[in-house]
């Protein structure tokens, strides 16, 4: 939501409901992963089993685009992106989100998704430079060489458009879903918003998949060795 919902301020920093609900999500995720990995056993308990299954699925998902070697090396950052986005998206389905103070759907705020987009931008380029070296990586933007005066500006613009489109896509989808649900609620409060909420069960997961899949495609492009 764009209208200011400042709860309190620490010095010059204003803390909004969005930030508070992100803190809550981070706490829940940290607690869950601590509980799941507290005492690892050969025969896993229910929570460890769930965590193992999720990680295995994510590994095979990222291995498809990144390849086994890069996937194992950079798995933590991709999994973090995915888990954070998917939990944030689904948190919008909890009752009271958006109306109660201190609860807001984080990914329906452009600031949050822009932050995620900037993280994705630096992830791509840091991994690209680490894998191929600064000189090699930078020269990959000016290929083919005889067209470099044309390709260089285009490639650089593309690099800056990518995080912007990632951020706008996630924000637009989540904000749009919230707005449509709200409008349906105003038309007919009982039952009508359910249509959109059932759809958003699907879309929340889809948006997280799309964000991380595009990010992994960008990274695989950055690390790819061209002859």
- Contact positions vs other proteins (CB under 8 A): 64-65, 165, 168-169, 172-173, 175-176, 179, 206, 209-210, 213-214, 217
- Strands 6-10 and 13-16, by their bridges, are antiparallel
What is the nearest approach in angstroms of other proteins to the Cβ of residue 176? 5
As measured in angstroms, the least distance from the Cβ of 1 to other proteins is 12
User: Looking at beta carbons only, is 49 or 64 nearer to other proteins?
Assistant: 64
Q: 120 near 215, Cβ under 8 Å?
A: yes
Neighbours of 133 (CB within 10 A): 11
Nearest distance, CB of residue 60 and other proteins, angstroms? 10
Please report how close the Cβ of residue 212 comes to other proteins at its closest, in angstroms.
11
Please identify, using beta-carbon distances, which residue of 184 and 210 lies nearer to other proteins: 210
Bridge partners of 13, per DSSP, are 10
Pick the closer one to other proteins by CB: 58 or 168.
168
DSSP-assigned letter for residue 224: -
Containing 15, the helix (H) or strand (E) segment is strand 13-16
DSSP, collapsed to helix, strand or coil, labels residue 223 as helix
Q: How far is the CB of 91 from other proteins (least distance, A)?
A: 21
* Residue among 65 and 123 whose Cβ is closer to other proteins: 65
- The closest of 16, 15, 14 to 2, measured between CA atoms, is 16
Which sign, positive or negative, has the C-alpha torsion 62, 38, 91, 160? negative
In the chain, what are the helix, strand and coil shares in percent, each to the nearest 5? 75, 5, 20
Shortest distance (Å) from residue 39 CB to other proteins = 36
Which residue, 156 or 164, has its beta carbon nearer to other proteins? 164
Query: 8 forms bridges with which residues in the sheet?
Result: 15
The residue among 55 and 213 lying less far from other proteins, judged by its C-beta, is 213
């Amino acid at each position: 939501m764009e209208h200011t919902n400042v709860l309190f301020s620490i010095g010059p920093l204003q803390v909004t409901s969005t930030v508070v609900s992100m803190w809550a999500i981070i706490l829940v995720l940290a607690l869950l992963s601590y509980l799941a990995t507290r005492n690892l056993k050969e025969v896993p308990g229910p929570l460890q089993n769930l965590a193992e299954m999720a990680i295995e699925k994510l590994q095979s998902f990222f291995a498809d685009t990144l390849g086994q070697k890069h996937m194992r090396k950079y798995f933590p950052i991709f999994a973090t992106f995915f888990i954070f986005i998917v939990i944030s998206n689904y948190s919008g389905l909890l009752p009271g989100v958006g109306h109660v103070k201190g609860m807001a759907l984080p990914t329906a705020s452009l600031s949050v998704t822009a932050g995620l987009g900037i993280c994705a931008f630096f992830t791509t380029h840091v991994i690209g430079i680490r894998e191929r070296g600064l000189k090699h990586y930078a020269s990959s933007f000016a290929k083919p060489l005889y067209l470099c005066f044309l390709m260089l500006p285009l490639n650089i613009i593309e690099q800056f458009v990518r995080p912007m489109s990632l951020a706008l896509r996630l924000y637009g989808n989540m904000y749009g879903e919230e707005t449509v649900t709200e409008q349906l609620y105003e038309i007919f409060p009982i039952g009508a918003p359910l249509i959109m909420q059932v759809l958003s069960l699907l879309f929340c997961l889809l948006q997280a998949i799309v964000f991380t899949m595009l990010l992994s495609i960008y990274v695989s492009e950055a690390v790819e060795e061209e002859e």
